[in-house]
Structure 1
Amino acid sequence: MCTADQWEQARVSGSRLPETFAADGFVHLSTTVQVHLPANRIFAGRTDLVLLYLDPSRLDAELRWEPGVPTDPESMVFPHLYGPLPAAAVTRVRAYRPGPDGVFVPPDA
């Protein structure tokens, strides 16, 4: 998930490396079941987001499944990519908008 402008920049440059990478050491990813959790924490009310659907076999860096933040369900782990996200790994891009109340829900809900 990122803004439409960030995706366009990644598409042109060939990869995406979020600003948080330097501090965290990985790219935060999510499944469709859990993406609403970080969307509501980080992007509450934003209307310029897109979901990037990935083919894991096209990733060039290690992918680890690790816990999120303490407020996430205890058993939930998130995919973390320990390197840039190649634009070539993106198989689909879809607009991701919050509901009328400004809250994001899972995209297939």
Structure 2
Amino acid sequence: MTELLHITERSLWEAAREHGTYEMSTRGRTLSEQGFIHCSLRHQLPPVARALYGDPPDRDDLVVLVIDADRLTAPVRHEAVEPGGEEFPHIYGPLPVDAVVGVEDWPSGTS
């Protein structure tokens, strides 16, 4: 299994489970607005959480979606935010809920 991670609000994940797909890109932006869903590798998650939600994140409603990339139908591209920068995985399409193989509370043992 190729593991990708995505941090989100629990309520957004619960809504996606009812709908069948998750279509948020990142905090406050949808897949249709951004063009892809931002993801992280395990070691990238703590700085991403800090950047999006503060240090420490000032919320207790955050979860980490553990995604099996092998179950995705949309392409995944590893891209840098700026030229020469660290590359992050991006999913170029909706995330089917059955590709999410785990949901972890944040903060978790990854911080």
Structure 2: 5+ residue stretches without partners: 1-6
Secondary structure, counterpart of 1:34 in structure 2: helix
Q: Percent identity?
A: 36
Aligned to 2:36: 26
Q: Is the 8 A contact 1:32 1:107 kept in 2?
A: no
Letter in 2 for 1:77: E
| Per-residue deviation, 1:32 | 1.2
| Per-residue deviation, 1:107 | 3.7
Aligned to 1:5: 11
1:94 aligns with 2:104: yes
User: Which has a greater percent of helix?
Assistant: 2
Length, aligned pairs only: 98
Give me the whole-angstrom Cα distance separating, in 2, the residues matched to 1:15 and 1:3.
15
State the Cα deviation string for residues 74-99 of structure 1 (Å, max 9, x = none).
552100000011100000101012xx
1:38 aligns with 2:48: yes
| Per-residue deviation, 1:2 | 0.7
Aligned to 2:68: 55
Give me the whole-angstrom Cα distance separating, in 1, the residues matched to 2:65 and 2:109.
12
Runs of 4+ deviating beyond 4 Å: none
Secondary structure, counterpart of 1:60 in structure 2: coil
Aligned to 1:108: 110
Cα 1:69/1:37, change in 2 over 3 Å: farther
| Per-residue deviation, 1:21 | 2.0
Give me the whole-angstrom Cα distance separating, in 2, the residues matched to 1:35 and 1:76.
13
Secondary structure, counterpart of 1:7 in structure 2: helix
Give me the whole-angstrom Cα distance separating, in 1, the residues matched to 2:12 and 2:94.
13
User: Which has a greater percent of strand?
Assistant: 2
Q: TM-score, normalised by structure 2?
A: 0.78
Q: Is the 8 A contact 1:54 1:91 kept in 2?
A: yes
Secondary structure, counterpart of 1:51 in structure 2: strand
Q: Is the 8 A contact 2:45 2:110 kept in 1?
A: no
